[in-house]
Amino acid sequence: MHAIVIKSTGSWYKVLLDDGQVVDARLRGKIRTLELKTTNPVVVGDDVLLDFVEKEYNIREVQDRKNCIVRKSNKLSKQFQIIAANIDHAFLIISPAKPHTPQGFIDRFLATAEAYSIPVSLLLNKSDLDTRKANNHRELLMSIYPKIGYKIDNVSFLNEEDIETIKDQVADKCILLAGNSGVGKSTLINALLPESNQKVGAVSTSYEKGKHTTTFAQMFLGENGCRVIDTPGIKDFGMVNMEPNQVSHYFPEMRDLLHFCKFSNCLHTEEPECNVLQAVESGEINASRYVSYLGILEELS
C-alpha cells in the first residue's frame, strides 16, 4: 500500500493514502536501525510503502527520493537532518524591509536548493511597502536574480490578483515554502489553505497562524491539488558533506565559467588565471553574489 508522509510525530507519522485518507503509521524497527548519515530515516514528502497488521499501519519501506532539503543536525555536527523530500518546486519568500531579507541569506538558500536538485523561485513580498529602504533593496534584488536565471515575482500577499497568480503556479505540485520570520509565509499559507478544506483542518490543528513554533516540516493539502510543505526555521540550512571546491557549481553564473580556469581545483579566491575572478572584476558576476560565495567557503572551512 502506497502513501505520502505529511507529518512526523515522533515514532508515529501521519500519512496520506492514495484514496485521500490521512492515517497514523508506525515506523518498523528494522528501518529505524539502518546505518544512516541522517538523524531521521523518514521525512515529510517521502513516498512509503505500508503494511496493515493487527489494525495498525506500519511503514515497511521508504522509496528512493528524487531530491531533498537538509540542514545540520543540532545535536551531532557530523550528521544532518533531512527537512523534506520529493519537492517539485521551492519558493523562498523574501521581504525588502520590515524585515529586510539579507542577500547572503537568499544566496545560501539558492545554493542549497541547487545542490539538492530542487527548482526554486523567489517571491518578493510587500510590493505595497513604499519606503526608500524598501525600494532600494527591491530594485537591487530585481536587478540581480533574473539575470542569473532565477524567477522573482514582486508581489503582495494582501493582493487578491497576486495570490491567484501564485495559486496557478503551485497547482498539482508538492511545493516547499521557506523564509525568515516576518516575511509573510503564514499569510501565504492561509491563502493557499482555506479553512473550508476539511482535509487541511484535520491535519493542521496544531498549526498556529502567524507564529513560528514549528520544529519539524509539515505538509498541508491545499487547493488545486497542491501540497504545501511548511518548513521550520531555515537559519541552519546549508552545505552538508560538501567540499569547498564544489560550491561554485551551485552558483549558476560561476558554473558556466569553471572550465576556463587554469586549475581544475580552483577555489576562485586568489588563484592565477581564474576566470571567475576575472568575471567578478569585470562586473559579469555580481560582487555581492561573490561575497555570498566567499561566506559559504568560510563556513565550510
| Residue 250 belongs to some domain of the structure | yes
Q: Of 64, 63, 48, 41, whose CA–CA distance to 1 is shortest?
A: 48
CATH number, domain at 182?
3.40.50.300
pLDDT at 41: 82
Q: Of 67, 137, 131, whose CA–CA distance to 100 is shortest?
A: 137
- 169/254 same-domain check: no
- Lowest mean per-residue pLDDT among 29-33, 158-162, 176-180, 292-296: 29-33
The mean pLDDT value of the chain amounts to 85
| Residue 77 belongs to some domain of the structure | no
| Residue 45 belongs to some domain of the structure | yes
pLDDT at 9: 74
Looking at the predicted structure, is the pLDDT value of residue 75 above 60?
A: no
- 212/87 same-domain check: yes
* pLDDT above 90: percentage of residues in the chain: 63
Q: Using CA of residue 136, residue 139, residue 143, residue 149, what is the dihedral sign?
A: positive
- 284/262 same-domain check: yes
Domain that holds residue 35: 2-64
CATH number, domain at 296?
1.10.40.50
- Domain boundary (36, 64, 92) is at 64
Q: pTM for the complete prediction?
A: 0.85
pLDDT tens string 170-209: 999 999 998 888 899 989 988 888 752 323 333 333 333 3
Average pLDDT of the residues in 27-39: 60
pLDDT tens string 115-132: 989 999 999 999 999 999
pLDDT at 94: 96
- 15/127 same-domain check: no
